[in-house]
């Protein structure tokens, strides 16, 4: 199919960037229905006018937290996900921060095969621009029993602008966001599956990461329930002043917001936190 937005590839640095966050239900242990649901939502997102520049998807959207069966459900080398997202991104000329998935890493040395909680980013031309596996596994949801932690921070470049990605529980570790900011990130993407009753943690931590690092935080949570765990949605976009510029409710939705990446430089210029740091005293 031809690209319905042919101009999108010829304008590599739009500012502001229109972001669409796909806050969706996820069926635990049902990759087929989750792929179908995501495809439907992606089609809805790109049908909007103006079309978004960047689409963001929640954490572990292919399998949910079906951790007991994660080895049989995980996507081998992320092959299916990468092909699907890359093709969609290219066809529509859109960037996609493709949430995270359970990725299976098969190798003769590592037995049993490892599974990571991994996010991929794809650019408008369908090329991969980001890959990050969750560094901090969340024991309260048994991740440490079934998943392998990542070892590398998620820095990447989006439309020529330094950006970062962290996954859900990672936002409780301010050092990681600070490191990405010190490496120049002006926007931090956070795919999540964050449940009740910790909505105040979610909001406060996201705002804190935005304020202290003077960067945009774009956080896409899932909605719906899995067994007795209820996910509250409340995906949000927070600007470098810490203002919530868009916030969803609890239901499935596509939340959109425009972000002006120059604002990060402006805020960093007005309150020069990075220049005023005294790392020799606390690092």
Ligand X SMILES: NC(=O)CCC(=O)C(=O)O
168 binds ligand X (CB under 6 A): yes
148 binds ligand X (CB under 6 A): no
Per CB under 6 A, the list member of 69, 139, 144, 201 interacting with ligand X is: 201
- Does residue 134 have an active-site annotation? yes
Residues 120 and 133: their CA atoms lie apart, in Å, by: 9
Tokens at 209, concatenated: 């990461």
Active site residue: 134, 148, 159, 220, which one?
134
Per CB under 6 A, the list member of 139, 198, 230, 277 interacting with ligand X is: 198
Stretch touching ligand X by CB under 6 A, among 3-11, 95-103, 167-175, 264-272: 167-175
By CB under 6 A, the residues from 106 to 145 that bind ligand X are: 138, 141
Nearest to 88 by CA among 121, 39, 53: 39
The least distance separating ligand X from the CB of residue 184, rounded to whole angstroms, comes to 26
Stretch touching ligand X by CB under 6 A, among 10-18, 21-29, 98-106, 164-172: 164-172
Active site residue: 114, 148, 159, 168, which one?
168
- Does residue 168 have an active-site annotation? yes
Stretch touching ligand X by CB under 6 A, among 39-47, 93-101, 157-165, 190-198: 190-198
Tokens at 96, concatenated: 């996609």
What long-range pairs does 76-81 form, CB within 8 A, spacing at least 24? 76/104, 76/106, 77/103, 77/104, 77/105, 77/106, 78/103, 78/118, 78/120, 80/35, 81/120
Per CB under 6 A, the list member of 53, 75, 148, 193 interacting with ligand X is: 193
Q: Are 217 and 238 in contact (CB under 8 A)?
A: yes
Residues linked to residue 19 through DSSP beta bridges, in sequence order: 54, 257
Residues 258 and 148: their CA atoms lie apart, in Å, by: 35
Stretch touching ligand X by CB under 6 A, among 106-114, 148-156, 192-200, 264-272: 192-200
Task: Give the residue with the Cβ less far from ligand X, 132 or 194.
Answer: 194
Per CB under 6 A, the list member of 84, 194, 231, 232 interacting with ligand X is: 194
Q: How many other CB atoms are found less than 10 A from the CB of residue 178? A: 16
Task: Give the residue with the Cβ less far from ligand X, 68 or 265.
Answer: 68
Task: Give the residue with the Cβ less far from ligand X, 141 or 206.
Answer: 141
By CB under 6 A, the residues from 39 to 98 that bind ligand X are: 59
Q: Are 221 and 247 in contact (CB under 8 A)?
A: no
Task: Give the residue with the Cβ less far from ligand X, 250 or 260.
Answer: 250
- Compute how many residues bind ligand X; rule: CB under 6 A: 11
Helices (H), 112-190: 143-146, 174-182
172 binds ligand X (CB under 6 A): yes
Q: Are 153 and 164 in contact (CB under 8 A)?
A: yes
By CB atoms closer than 10 A (0-12, 13-18, 19+), residue 107 is exposed
Q: Are 238 and 247 in contact (CB under 8 A)?
A: no
Catalytic machinery residues: 59, 134, 168
- Site residues (CB under 6 A) for ligand X? 59, 138, 141, 168-169, 172, 193-195, 198, 201
């Amino acid at each position: 199919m031809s690209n319905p937005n042919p101009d999108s590839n010829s304008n590599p640095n739009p500012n502001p960037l229109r972001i669409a966050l796909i806050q969706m239900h996820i069926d635990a242990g049902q990759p087929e229905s989750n792929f179908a649901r995501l495809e439907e939502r992606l089609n809805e997102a790109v049908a909007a006018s103006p079309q978004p520049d960047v689409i963001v998807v929640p954490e572990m959207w292919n399998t949910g937290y079906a951790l007991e069966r994660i080895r049989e459900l995980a996507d081998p080398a992320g092959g299916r996900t990468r092909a699907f997202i890359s093709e969609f991104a290219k066809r529509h000329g859109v960037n996609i921060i493709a949430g995270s998935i359970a990725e299976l890493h098969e190798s003769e040395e590592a037995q049993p095969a490892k599974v990571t909680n991994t996010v991929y980013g794809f650019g408008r031309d369908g090329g991969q621009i980001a890959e990050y596996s969750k560094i901090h596994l969340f024991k309260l949801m048994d991740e440490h029993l079934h998943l392998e932690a990542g070892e590398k921070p998620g820095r990447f470049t989006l439309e020529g602008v330094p950006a970062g990605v962290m996954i859900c529980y990672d936002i409780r570790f301010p050092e990681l966001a600070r490191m990405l900011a010190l490496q120049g990130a002006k926007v931090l993407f956070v795919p999540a599956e964050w449940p009740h009753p910790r909505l105040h943690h979610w909001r406060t931590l996201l705002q804190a990461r935005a304020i202290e690092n003077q960067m945009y935080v774009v956080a896409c949570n899932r909605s719906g329930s899995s067994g007795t765990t209820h996910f509250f949605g409340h995906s949000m976009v927070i600007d470098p002043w810490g203002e919530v510029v868009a916030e969803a409710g609890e239901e499935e939705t596509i939340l959109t917001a425009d972000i002006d990446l120059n604002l990060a430089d402006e805020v960093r210029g007005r309150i020069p936190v990075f220049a005023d740091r005294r790392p020799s005293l606390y690092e």
